[in-house]
Amino acid sequence: MDLKTLTDAMHAFVESKGWYAADSARPQTPRNLAISLALEAAEVLEHFQWDDQARHPEDLPAELADVMLYLLQLASISGVDLGQAVMDKLKVNYGRSWDAPAE
């Protein structure tokens, strides 16, 4: 499945809940989405607290999906081509070395 299909499905869901409406109790602003993204990422981390393996591996896919949904939405409403951003970042990372001392 491609990013556009996932992004379109995410927007359809958010729209169906009325969260894009001006009077929504859950305004879909970049700030609110960034906060939600961080909170969902923390829920992923919680699965690994005190252990190297997820305590409830059956719940991990849903938590990862929540992270991806917020990431897709934040990128979309911020005008970021997430696929291109990933490719650009990989290009930069290929030129980096994590073995060199930090400056």
Share of the chain above pLDDT 70, in %: 97
Residue 74 neighbours by CB under 8 Å, 6+ apart: 30, 33, 34, 37, 80
pTM: 0.90
**pLDDT band of 101, cuts 50, 70, 90:** confident
Going from the N-terminus, what domains does the chain have, and what CATH number goes with each? 3-92 (1.10.287.1080)
Residue-averaged pLDDT of the chain:
95
Label residue 74 exposed, middle or buried (CB < 10 Å: 0-12, 13-18, 19+). buried
DSSP H helical ranges for the chain: 3-16, 30-46, 60-77, 82-94
Write out pLDDT tens, residues 23-58.
999 999 999 999 999 999 999 999 999 999 999 999
Region 57-86 average pLDDT: 98
